[in-house]
Structure 1
Amino acid sequence: MCGIVGLFLKDSTLEPDLGAMLTAMLVTMTDRGPDSAGIAIYSEDSAKPFKITVQSLDPATDFPALSDRIAKLTGAPAQLLEKGSHAVIALAKSAADTVLTMIRSDFPELRIMSQGNRIEIFKETGLPEKVAAEFSVAAMHGTHGIGHTRMATESAVTTLGAHPFSTGSDQCLVHNGSLSNHNSLRRKLVRDGMHFETENDSEVAAAYLTRRMQGGDNLGGALQAGLDDLDGFYTFVVGTETGFGVLRDPIACKPAVMAETDRFVAFGSEYRALVDLPGIKDARVWEPQPAKVYFWER
């Protein structure tokens, strides 16, 4: 079943409250998916260092070793902020590829959650309230973010199986539904150089959009192309460094509602996820149409 939320802020005065608003929205969707949960937050300052977020099953062992290895590799003290089972590594963008290659080769037990100038992804098994508290999501500031609470129907309940999925720099996706052609599309994307961490069909959708944007599409164009190339039933909410997009398949059997004011754009699997947003009584509220691309950019 699964529950999705998303929030794109137009009013910068709301940015200190982004994490708290997204947390409340996601917790409201708990009964749509109690297995695992995750949130992607886009920070408000794109001038911050490049960030890599990783997850470990043994943080007490892995993170000190990773910090030492990064320091030796870069010649500077590692900036590594631990948050529960995750750590956010801040570094110069010029060093990012070297560090990512080192993590994949020397720390195969670590999982890369996200990478980019602004994105941080935190996800774990358990209820949304527990997951959000573990990472102090409510205290996070930012410009936009998306969240997902999962009911696993086609794969195991694991951290890696939780959403959001990120397959490119500052890009991520959450998904409610199921794709029927994800295996054939995965094989094609692997031939094109895409890397996959899981067997989840949602990761394939994320990689497809990443590949389209790497080829020159903007977010709206990538979502539009997906209507031809992605078979199944789905609702996607997608984040990029500067954008926020929504797409439902042509049948649109999964529930969805959106609201827009001069301060924000919000998405929820159900309207009750939106009821506590500031000024919601004056918002334009609608059900996103099947096979119609909605996207906003800063």
Structure 2
Amino acid sequence: MCGIVGLFLKDRTLEPQLGALLSDMLITMTDRGPDSAGIAIYGGAKDGLGKITVQSAQPQSDFRNLDADLRAAIGQPVAMLVKSTHAVLEVPLGQMEAARSALAQLRPGVKVMSVGDAIEIFKEVGLPRDVAARFELSKMKGTHGIGHTRMATESAVTTLGAHPFSTGPDQCLVHNGSLSNHNNVRRDLIHAGLRFETENDTEVAAAFLAHRLRRGESLGQALEATLEELDGFYTFVVGTRNGFGVVRDPIACKPAVMAETDAYVAFGSEYRALVGLPGIESARIWEPEPATVYFWEH
């Protein structure tokens, strides 16, 4: 009973509106998941720089002088933008791993939400409207994004348990449903060198996807692999640096609707999440087929 939204822009003139459009879509899905919410935004990539988005339960102390401390640790410039309980750190691409290692030493209580050229993830406990306002999502610009409203049924209501989950560079996933073999898949992925922060089955799905992408598979191939290796009932909506994908399990019992125009591709757990999009009255609207991969890339 979670709610998923996604928006992939084809028309670059809509990029300044991405955050506002996604915020409205997310808030519309509130009654499908009122306990926490999150959003991943892709945009603002800068040559030679990467982003590390972090979260803290004690931002006033953890974020104080964090940019200066990291700068001293890695010997490179570090910029920081604080947004409530989250901060986006910009560091040279060649120093991303060094910055993560230094961060773990300098601020062990800080959690990494996402890493990459373009991705930023913001998520917290609370109503979607409150989460959106806290991070000023309506002001964000970008090329595409996905969001999730959660109703926790199998794990605690926590920030780390909220979606999206990101376990690879510029990659994230949101999920509606439940996986039955996630513990076995988690063990296999741990043996392959992946690390996990939660017991959430969605983090396993995100890690599975990241692992396949690291092996050189395309987004379409990685999504096809979920149909072969992951058991349960699910709808996945996925973001990568340049792509946006959707896949449902072979039974497809979770609700889903998509819309496409010359300007965008949109996903919602229900059609009402899409009604405020520009040009929706002339969009091609359909329910994604079971066990069928859909993806778009810039």
Category of TM-score, reference length = shorter chain: over 0.9
Q: Bigger CA drift: 110-119 or 67-76?
A: 67-76
What's the counterpart of residue 99 of structure 1?
A: 99
State the Cα deviation string for residues 189-245 of structure 1 (Å, max 9, x = none): 011011111110000000000000111111110000110100000000000000000
Q: Compute the TM-score of the two structures, normalised by the length of structure 2.
A: 0.98
What secondary structure does 1:64 align onto? coil
**Alignment correspondent of 1:247:** 247
- Of the structure 1 ranges 62-71 and 188-197, higher mean CA displacement relative to structure 2 is found in 62-71
Structure 1: which 5+ residue stretches go unaligned? Answer: none
Could you say what secondary structure the match of 1:194 adopts? coil
Moved more, 118-127 or 101-110: 101-110
Question: How many equivalent pairs are there?
Answer: 298
Shift of 1:78: 2.9
1:169-248 counterparts in 2 under 5 A? 169-248=169-248
1 CA distance for matches of 2:202 and 2:15? Answer: 28
Is 56-65 or 85-94 further displaced after alignment? 56-65
Share of identical aligned residues, percent?
Answer: 65
1:90-118 per-residue CA deviation (whole Å, 9 max, x = no partner) reads: 01001100011122344221110000000
Distance 2:259 2:76 in 1: 46
1:144 lines up with 2:150 in the alignment: no
Q: CA deviation at 1:76?
A: 4.2
TM-score by length of 1: 0.98
Question: What are the residue-to-residue correspondences of 1:49-198 with 2, within 5 Å?
Answer: 49-198=49-198
Amino acid at match of 2:104: R
DSSP-derived class of the 1:141 partner: coil
The alignment's C-alpha RMSD in Å is 1.1
User: Corresponding residue for 1:285?
Assistant: 285
- Map Cα deviations across residues 20-44 of structure 1 (whole Å, 9 max, x no partner): 0000000000000000000000005
2:276 maps to a residue whose letter is D
Mapped contact 1:15–1:44 kept (Cα < 8 A): no
SS at match of 1:160: coil
Q: Deviations over 1:2-21 (max 9, x none)?
A: 00000000000000000000
Equivalent AA in structure 2 for residue 283 of structure 1: A
Check 1:46–1:75 CA distance in 2 against 1; reply closer, same or farther (3 A cut): closer
* In structure 2, distance between residues paired with 1:75 and 1:84: 27
Q: Equivalents in 2 of 1:204, 1:99: separation in Å?
A: 25
CA contact (8 A) 2:40 2:119 kept: yes
